[in-house]
Amino acid sequence: MKLILFDIDGTLISAGGAGTRSLNKAFEKVLGIKEAFKNFEMAGKTDIQIIKEGLLLNGIEPSSWLVNDLIESYLENLKIEINNNSKHLKPGVDEFIKLIYHELKYPMGLLTGNLEKGARIKLDPFGLNSFFPTGAFGSDHEDRNKLLPIAVKRFSKTFNNYLDFHHCIVIGDTPRDVACAKPYGAKVIAVATGPYSFETLQKTEADIVIKTLGEINKILPLLS
């Protein structure tokens, strides 16, 4: 058995900028700061990490109560902002998920910097939540490099069987997705459907680099 763990933004979907708009609105509502995340690099970071970095960039100490207030506002905004016409599935996602679910019958989960509630809000319009019963999220730990052990522990408990890191395949669109998995011995598929180019991802330690998840023939050897 293999466990397939997916990143969300840039890998499974584009939220049409909903996440950034929601964070900007949260900072404006709670702190009166407009466009707090203009020209801010978010890709591959956890939501809590992003919020704390946003506070520090504005000279504000990220206390726990303030972070929690911003999270609450962000999630409320996200429920509204996700309803936009620019959101879309990334190329090949639908076919790839159906292959794993119906034919290979491997369990799938999420390995994402999104807060769990935020992840579910983003995936809901696409009808994807049922494919990913659990995983590890930015709400579990603000350090993305700590998330894979959390996901493995949860799935091991679900199947009442020890799951080794070497049985895991992590799929993501940023160098941070690669960096959070390779130290544990997991395999990584890097897909160039996010902000990083195919050439940039080739410089990482990813086992396979593809342009889209539609390149199933290139992925299958890693899944067998």
What CATH number is given for 3-15+87-222 in this structure? 3.40.50.1000
| Cα–Cα distance for residue pair 52/47, rounded to 1 Å | 9
pTM: 0.94
- CA distance to 17, 19, 93, 175, 194, per residue, from 83 (Å): 11, 11, 20, 29, 20
Domain spans, the chain = 3-15+87-222, 18-82
pLDDT tens, 153-209?
Answer: 998 888 777 788 999 999 999 999 999 999 999 999 999 999 999 999 999 999 999
**Considering the chain, what is the average pLDDT of its residues?**
94
| Cα–Cα distance for residue pair 158/2, rounded to 1 Å | 14
Mean pLDDT, range 18-42, rounded to an integer:
91
pLDDT tens, 90-107?
Answer: 999 999 999 999 999 999
- How confident is residue 212, by pLDDT bands cut at 50, 70 and 90? very high
Residue 43 has pLDDT above 90, yes or no: no
Angle subtended by helix axes 64-81 and 116-123, to nearest 10:
10
